[in-house]
Structure 1
């Protein structure tokens, strides 16, 4: 499956591990990694057509702009992104409030506890394939 994926996280090691696992699983061949949510937001808002990532893995706790602020900034563009861009929150937080808050965003397809594993990657892939069918 040819997919474009954004990985937004300020953790170098976490990014390396996630990216390596995504490639090993053959999840996608086009991964753009951003350490700053602002840079990812800029790239996403400039993207057109096939440049729009089908998947975004988004960390919540980042400097300057955190994951929640990133989601708020996308709110005006939700209509264009819904069904085309699926955001999965990657977090080390086990807070129930985060899980509840994530459900209030239509663009958020799920919340994954770090580190992501092969089973979760396969589940995301099959969910996307079901939607296309």
Structure 2
């Protein structure tokens, strides 16, 4: 698919495995990896909203700026990003509170338990193909 993707996770092994799976599934022709949410935020804002990624895979538990703080920092840009940038939270947490909290963010298209698998990637691809708007994925 011809879309820009951000992969934000401080776990290098998780980044490597997820990136390899995304490439194997031909998910994106442009995958940008970030070891911190702050770095990703600075890049996104520096490139301008027009260059925003279509998909962001976001880890929640990271030092300095966690996934929730990243989402809060994007709030002022929500109107422009909504419908253009779909954020999927990647988490190893099984906490119901994380699922409920994720639903409070309009930019969050779904919550996916790590490790992501081919079926989840294909489900996201099918939601992003042209046609009716993408449905949320709450896996």
TM-score by length of 2: 0.92
Count of aligned pairs? 133
The structure in which a higher percent of residues are helix is 1
- The Cα shift of 1:47 comes to 2.4
What are the Cα deviations for residues 11-52 of structure 1, in whole angstroms up to 9, with x where unaligned?
Answer: 000000000000000000111000010010011112236621
What are the within-5 Å matches in structure 2 for residues 1-133 of structure 1?
1-48=1-48, 51-129=51-129, 130-131=131-132
Gaps spanning 5+ residues in structure 2: where?
135-139
2:7–2:33 contact (8 Å) kept in structure 1: yes
Shift >4 Å, 4+ stretches? none
TM-score by length of 1: 0.96
2:15–2:33 contact (8 Å) kept in structure 1: yes
Please tell me the root mean square deviation across aligned C-alpha atoms, in Å: 1.4
Gaps spanning 5+ residues in structure 1: where?
none
